[in-house]
Structure formats: C-alpha cells, structure tokens
C-alpha cells in the first residue's frame, strides 16, 4: 500500500485518528507565522485551538478559563514572559494540565526543574511526530485532579508588566 502524504510531506488529516483528536489546546508562540500555522494544522486534525502570540495574554486567557484547556503548547523564548515561567504559573493554577514546550535551543535541565512538562521539543519540529505526540498526551493526560481555582490561587499575573 502506498504511503499517502499531503503536499507538505506530512500525513493527511484523518490518518492520525482516535480519541485524542478532540480537546482544546492553548498554543503560544510569539512568532505570528508559527502561531497561525500551528493553529491551522492542529485544527485540520480536529482539535479546538486558541492561538496566542503573547505569553502574558495567554496566561490571562488561562486564568479566565482554566478548565477550558486540555493541553498547553508553548514556545520557550518569548518577550515579556519566558515559556518556563508561563508553564510554572499555569501549573500553579491547574497542576494536572499537560504542557509541551518547544524551543529552538537546547535547554539546561535547571530551567525546567520542578515543572511537570509532558515533553520538550527541539525546533524545527517534525510535524508527523508532533501530531502523534499531541494525540498521545491528550489520550494519556496526567491524573485529573481538581485544579486550584483562579480566585483561590495567588494571582499569577502579579509582577508582570501592566498587572
């Protein structure tokens, strides 16, 4: 049987199937093009995606609706707030939410120490592997524990510019 690929060389929508193809993803990358492409690609595979180019705005969206998101995918290097701090603040609100961090540079383990990341991916990403990872993470999330509601947690926006 021939291996059918789309024009980008990746697997066509529908070829990765299963229960992981539902869920709402918060996708954060300060590069507008990557945020748009990531959103479009994930939506093509059936996910609901809220794409943001500001880590501070992404945190604000998460604070407003912490139970809305099944997965957070974030870049590491971003202005305003780095991806590790974003992950820390998100996990302070809802510790069980899985987070995939993407980076163009190898990270020192000290940077992510204490974070429960589902995976750290080095850019450029292999789209087929990336989509498979997203499915696996959503199929096997960390144990679902009640999150700390935003009104009971310390304000994760404290200390950020404009807050």
Bridge partners, residue 50, by sequence? 26
Q: Identify the bridge partners of residue 28 per DSSP, sorted by sequence position.
A: 52, 74
Cβ pair 25, 50 in contact under 8 A: yes
pLDDT: is 58 or 148 the higher one? 58
**Superfamily of domain 19-139, CATH level 4:** Response regulator (3.40.50.2300)
Helix (H, G, I), strand (E, B) or coil at 135: helix
Q: Which of 100, 87, 103 is nearest to 132 (CA)?
A: 100
* Whether the predicted pLDDT of 98 surpasses 80: yes
Q: Is the pLDDT of residue 37 over 70?
A: yes
pTM: 0.77
**Residue 7's pLDDT is what?**
43
Among 18-22, 83-87, 122-126, the minimum mean pLDDT is found in: 18-22
Q: Where are the domains of the chain?
A: 19-139
């Amino acid at each position: 049987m021939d291996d059918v690929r789309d024009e980008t060389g990746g697997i066509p929508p529908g070829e990765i199937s299963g229960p992981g193809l539902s869920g709402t993803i918060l996708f954060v990358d300060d590069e507008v093009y990557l945020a748009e492409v990531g959103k479009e690609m994930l939506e093509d595979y059936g996910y609901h995606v809220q794409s943001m180019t500001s880590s501070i705005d992404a945190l604000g969206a998460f604070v407003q609706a912490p139970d809305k998101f099944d997965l957070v995918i974030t870049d590491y290097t971003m202005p305003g707030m780095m991806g590790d701090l974003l992950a820390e603040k998100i996990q302070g609100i809802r510790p069980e939410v899985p987070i995939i961090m993407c980076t163009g540079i190898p990270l020192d383990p000290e940077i992510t120490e204490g974070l429960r990341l589902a995976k750290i991916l080095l850019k450029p990403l292999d789209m087929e592997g990336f989509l498979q990872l997203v499915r696996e993470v959503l199929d096997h999330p960390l144990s679902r524990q009640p999150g700390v509601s935003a009104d009971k947690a310390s304000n994760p926006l404290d200390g950020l510019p404009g807050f």
